[in-house]
Amino acid sequence: MKNAKPVSGPKFLEPLSFERSRAGRCGASVPPPIPQAPTTTQDLPAALLRQTPAGLPEMSEPEVVRHYVRLSQHNFAVDLGMYPLGSCTMKYNPKINEVTAGLPGFANLHPHYPWAWTQGALELMYNLEHMLAAISGMDAVTLQPAAGAHGEYTGLRVIRQAIQKRGENRQTVLIPDSAHGTNPATVTLNGWKVKPLESGPNGYIQASAVEKLMDEGVAALMMTNPNTLGLFEPECDEIARIVHAKGGFMYCDGANLNSLMGRAQPGKIGFDVMHINLHKTFSTPHGGGGPGAGPVGVVQALEPFLPIPRVVKTGDRFAMEFNRADSIGRVRAFFGNFGILVRAYTYICEMGGEGLSEATTKAVLNANYLLARLRDTWHVPFPKACMHECVLSDKDLLPAGIHNVDVAKALIDRGFHPPTVSFPIHVHGSLMIEPTETETKETLDTFVEALEEIRKLAQENPQALHDSPLSTPLSRLDETQAARHPILNVDDK
């Protein structure tokens, strides 16, 4: 590889904090406890009173700091390098977002403050709703859902409420084979059944297939557009006409909005509901167990069913409205994950409409550049131009005993987070790559060189790939064992 390879730093095989614990060690100076008043515990049921001390590790401050810093060094992050997870859009998180989210006027708010004290926050949410509506082509947006999957659940609940309002009893939802795994789960959580829909030979959904399955018992069709192959669904307009003609709704999984933002509006091409992953399109931090946001946009006919409360504006004042008879009710405590909303608002204001469109253009350009560099040497099931992500497969490596997982592990040793593997599930041995708009040509070229080096090793020294990764504290783990029998404390060993 022409560019410098990453240099591996210290490798710490960090034990559990409980294993470092020693009786009597403490990392803080704690004053003697204040004697409790005789009546302090009298109002609590005896079953709720602790009989033994909490089983917490006892460690010094340096031990605690080093423990968590070492654990952090086990993690790859978008601040360390390219994170090409297909379908997940791991965008770089601009640091200006953190500055604004940390402003005292935002960071120190409490949701129980009177509306008069929170006018700035309410105005931000009101404006963000309208910005997301304009970008998506929807008529109204709720900011409450705490993640994309939660947005899916909320969106289908809105559809369910609208169908019940019409006095209908629809029981199924059409789910393409290219759908995200959360889609069928969301259908089940809403009490409906999944009716599978196969993609056509070109990788997209055919209107003729939808017409065969669509009847008055189908509540909705959930579609990701562009789909999880990185391909735009060219028959979307006709599909929407078929679904609407039978009284169904079109649901757009907004995971791939980063390839449409500023260029096309899902609400204008037939969709009635969509969720928007703020971490995927608007640069907020992505998951990791922390707060997220999955706003949901709807067409005007579904607006009355959105969750409460709703931000309303009267004159130049803002408030929350709770009295909405047809609403599905609350889906989140308070008003959503406000700090994440501030970050997304900052990104949109910084970029502006022209900047958002440019980001989309570059995301599509980067993906097609990778596709053009790799299509002659790797198996590409759908080699035509893609949108924001492209899909390779391990088909040509299988004779050497090399699978997509081996490629993923080898990329770790070359300084890259692996792309998504084995998804979409209807492409066997898939490697799904999404570079996003923020990666430079130099980074993309280095990534291509890494893949080409891995392909060459598969032919000349496949064992080297089976041994990867070598730069991590642990290499190949038994993932099934880890999932079924996780070690959560020392006693589990």
Compute CA distances 240 → 164, 194, 211, 260, whole Å.
21, 18, 10, 18
- The answer to whether residues 381 and 271 belong to one domain is no
- The answer to whether residues 395 and 318 belong to one domain is no
Picking from 350, 372, 393, the residue at the C-terminal end of a domain is: 350
Domain for residue 41, yes or no? no
Picking from 282, 316, 350, the residue at the C-terminal end of a domain is: 350
- The answer to whether residues 225 and 298 belong to one domain is yes
- The answer to whether residues 344 and 406 belong to one domain is no
- The answer to whether residues 223 and 342 belong to one domain is yes
Residue-level pLDDT at 76: 86
- The answer to whether residues 210 and 311 belong to one domain is yes
Residue 436 has pLDDT above 80, yes or no: yes
Question: What is the rounded distance in angstroms from the CA atom of residue 286 to the CA atom of residue 436?
Answer: 14
How much of the chain exceeds pLDDT 90, in percent? 77
- The answer to whether residues 177 and 249 belong to one domain is yes
Read off the CATH number of the domain in which 296 is found. Answer: 3.40.640.10
Structure tokens at 411: 């990329």
> Domain of 155?
96-350
Domain for residue 458, yes or no? yes
Please report, in angstroms and rounded to a whole number, the separation of the first and last CA atoms in the chain. Answer: 42
Residue-level pLDDT at 1: 39
- The answer to whether residues 337 and 414 belong to one domain is no
Question: What is the rounded distance in angstroms from the CA atom of residue 235 to the CA atom of residue 462?
Answer: 43
Residue 30 has pLDDT above 90, yes or no: no
Q: What are phi and psi of 345, to 5 degrees?
A: -60, -40
Handedness of CA 47, 48, 49, 51 (dihedral sign): positive
- The answer to whether residues 328 and 393 belong to one domain is no
- What is the per-residue pLDDT across 195-224, written as a single tens digit (0 to 9) for each? 999 999 999 999 999 999 999 999 999 999
Residue-level pLDDT at 4: 38
- The answer to whether residues 162 and 263 belong to one domain is yes
Residue 478 has pLDDT above 90, yes or no: no
Return the closest-CA partner of residue 276 out of 303, 297, 299: 297
Residue 95 has pLDDT above 60, yes or no: yes
Q: What is the pTM of this model?
A: 0.89
The secondary element (H helix, E strand) that includes residue 253 is strand 249-253
Helix axes 441-460, 338-374, angle to 10 degrees: 60
Any idea what the Cα angle at residue 269 is, between residues 263 and 275, rounded to 5°? 80
Is residue 301 classed exposed, middle or buried when 0-12, 13-18 and 19+ CB atoms within 10 A define those classes? Answer: exposed
The answer to whether the beta carbons of residues 230 and 391 sit under 8 Å apart is yes
Question: What is the rounded distance in angstroms from the CA atom of residue 260 to the CA atom of residue 78?
Answer: 22
- What is the per-residue pLDDT across 306-354, written as a single tens digit (0 to 9) for each? 999 999 999 999 999 999 999 999 999 899 999 999 999 999 999 999 9
Domain for residue 308, yes or no? yes
Domain for residue 459, yes or no? yes
Residue-level pLDDT at 7: 41
- What is the per-residue pLDDT across 55-76, written as a single tens digit (0 to 9) for each? 899 999 999 999 998 888 888 8
Q: Please compute, for residue 163, the number of CA atoms within 13 A of its CA located in the half-sphere on the CB side.
A: 24
- What is the per-residue pLDDT across 445-465, written as a single tens digit (0 to 9) for each? 999 999 999 999 999 999 999
Structure tokens at 378: 């790797």
- What is the per-residue pLDDT across 396-415, written as a single tens digit (0 to 9) for each? 999 999 999 999 999 999 99
The answer to whether the beta carbons of residues 87 and 434 sit under 8 Å apart is yes
Residue 482 has pLDDT above 90, yes or no: no
- The answer to whether residues 144 and 194 belong to one domain is yes
- What is the per-residue pLDDT across 120-176, written as a single tens digit (0 to 9) for each? 999 999 999 999 999 999 999 999 999 999 999 999 999 999 999 999 999 999 999
The answer to whether the beta carbons of residues 255 and 249 sit under 8 Å apart is no
- The answer to whether residues 238 and 297 belong to one domain is yes
Question: What is the rounded distance in angstroms from the CA atom of residue 183 to the CA atom of residue 163?
Answer: 19
Structure tokens at 59: 């460690």
Instruction: Enumerate the β-bridge partners of residue 318.
Output: 313
Read off the CATH number of the domain in which 447 is found. Answer: 3.90.1150.10
- Please give the tally of structural domains in the chain: 2
Domain for residue 127, yes or no? yes
- What is the per-residue pLDDT across 151-167, written as a single tens digit (0 to 9) for each? 999 999 999 999 999 99
Which tops the pLDDT comparison, 276 or 180?
276
Compute CA distances 343 → 99, 107, 347, 349, whole Å.
9, 12, 6, 10
Domain for residue 231, yes or no? yes
Residue in the structure block whose two tokens are 């009716």: 195
Residue 106 has pLDDT above 90, yes or no: yes
Where are the strands (E) in 3-160, listed by range?
A: 140-142
Question: What is the rounded distance in angstroms from the CA atom of residue 367 to the CA atom of residue 437?
Answer: 9
Domain for residue 479, yes or no? no
Question: What is the rounded distance in angstroms from the CA atom of residue 177 to the CA atom of residue 294?
Answer: 23
